Amino acid sequence: MAVPPGGPFEICFSFDTTGSMSSSITEVKGRVQDMIQRLQADIPGIRIAVFAHGDYCDKNSSYVTKHIDFSTNVADLCKWVKNVGSTGGGDSDECYELVLHEVQDLSWTPGSQRALVMIGDANPHEPNYPQNTLKLDWRKEADKLAAMAVRIYSVYVNRCSGATNFYNEIAKRTGGRKVDLENFSNMFDFIMAICYREHGAEFLDVYEKEVRARDASKGIHKDLDAMFGALRDDTSGPVAMDTSSSAPLKKKLPFKPSLSKKPSLTKSASITSLKKAASLTMPTKKISKPRKRLTAEERKKQKQLSKFKFENLPKLKREDVTENYFNLNMLSWTPWQLAISSKAAHEMENSEQWMDRKDDKGCKRCQLFGGKTNVAALYEVSVQRCQKAKRYVLYNKFCSGFTKSWDSRLLGGRSIRAQIDNVLSQGCNVYIRRAVLGSESKQEVSKSLKRYDYAWRKLRLQRSGPRAIVKSSVKLSVS
């Protein structure tokens, strides 16, 4: 793997896991694998460390701080993040000063590009706090990190604890940025944007365009809009920016004032001026400028940026994407409806609404969605191992409408029937939901769907059949 000329990029994420702040790392758990794999693909040589912390009073009940040192191992990082627990916290302040101190002891590589993302919602303890036995001063600890060339990105959550000065100051002292977060569902985009900014302003610009295009139908969330504004390089160097307030804007004229002399209304125009005016109307031959040849470095950067084009982005495994992050979540989806059961029809509640599958396992509903299926809609199919277990979305289908045999229209084909038989043989059930397509065009929805990899579908130029999936020893999809 090629390492950037400025040395490897090393970034540490620090999560406050006390009380409601525990949701910050919980939000990341579901997408940590996709996040790390994409960062590794786009930022060669990136090394990631993660801190989780409570407060001093959590020493005997859970933990004060815990961390995983810099690593490139996706499995190790994912396992650590998914297994880290929450803490209680005590008073309103938390031990951020201890985290700033302990981050200095990570295995930083000499000459690396370094950043710390500190996510919190409270103030640190001052040196005179009784349980701060090391008498740590967060200001001095931030200065030490600055001396180590570690840039701090402070993510201030909810902004309701009067801690603005702390988050502004640690960013300012280290040449980082302060950003504000109100909705935890935006945590993933915050982390990705900060990483791309450290990699290069052009990478941040392209990621911003991706996020704005993704949210075009409903408008970008105010958290994300403010965050991109704070991270953008509007000045000659990185400075701390407070997104909670904005400076007054200078008024701009809708035109440039003209400094040329106005023609007189009483004097006739001179012959010279008439000739000049006539010459302006004569057609001129366009001279095309020769295309500038790109240097090897420019071609390399252009190739890197091409990864960010929508069609080149790595596909997300649909079964791992939660509803909050699904691009088409804004469609009017019906609730999930049990469509095929591993039981026989006579074993089902309201058995008159069910019929056994011919020559196949289990039973199916006689009708879906009250029989009102003669409408254009997008259907999604999921599998659930048992009641209250997670549903895994594995297949989708566009349909212009039908009146009979819903299973042959939605789940026809030998390959799909084989997948259905496989999950039913393991005691799983199949659920279906739909979104009726109204003003949204099929073309726009199809484009959004290209972002996802549905396991029961083949992928053009990548695989000729389904993708195998095993969850909790259950084969949800066989290749």
Lowest mean pLDDT among 223-232, 249-258, 335-344, 439-448: 249-258
pLDDT tens-digit map of 160-189: 668 899 999 999 999 999 998 888 888 889
Higher-pLDDT residue of 84, 101: 101
Contact by Cβ (8 Å): 242, 164: yes
Higher-pLDDT residue of 272, 145: 145
Residue 244 structure tokens: 């909670």
Write down the pLDDT at residue 258: 42
Specify whether the backbone of 149 is left (phi greater than 0), alpha (psi in -120 to 50) or beta: left
Residue 401 structure tokens: 């409408």
pLDDT tens-digit map of 54-79: 999 988 889 999 999 999 998 999 99
Provide DSSP, 152-191: EEEEEETT-SS-HHHHHHHHHHHT-EEEEE--GGGHHHHH
Q: Which residue has the tokens 């989806």?
A: 333
Asked whether the predicted pLDDT for residue 288 surpasses 80, the reply is no
pLDDT tens-digit map of 88-137: 876 678 999 999 999 999 999 999 999 999 999 899 999 999 999 999 99
Asked whether the predicted pLDDT for residue 411 surpasses 80, the reply is yes
DSSP character at residue 87: B
33-54 exposure pattern, b = at least 16 Cβ within 10 A, e = fewer: bbbbebbbebbebbbbbbbbbb
Say if residue 444 is exposed, middle or buried (CB neighbours under 10 Å; 0-12, 13-18, 19+). Answer: middle
Residue 343 structure tokens: 């039981």
Percent of the chain with pLDDT over 90: 40
* Domain limits, the chain: 9-231, 323-477
With cut-offs at 50, 70 and 90, classify the pLDDT of residue 248: very low
With cut-offs at 50, 70 and 90, classify the pLDDT of residue 236: very low
Mean pLDDT of 392-399: 93
Query: What pTM was computed for the model?
Result: 0.53
Residue type, 166: F
Handedness of CA 40, 42, 48, 52 (dihedral sign): negative
Compute the distance between CA of residue 395 and CA of residue 263 in angstroms, rounded to an integer. 71
154-170 exposure pattern, b = at least 16 Cβ within 10 A, e = fewer: bbbbebebebbebbbbb
Compute the distance between CA of residue 23 and CA of residue 423 in angstroms, rounded to an integer. 33
Residue 11 structure tokens: 């970034």
Contact by Cβ (8 Å): 328, 378: yes
> CATH class for domain 9-231?
alpha beta
Handedness of CA 168, 200, 451, 384 (dihedral sign): negative
Q: Nearest-CA neighbor of 131 among 165, 101, 95?
A: 95
Higher-pLDDT residue of 272, 377: 377
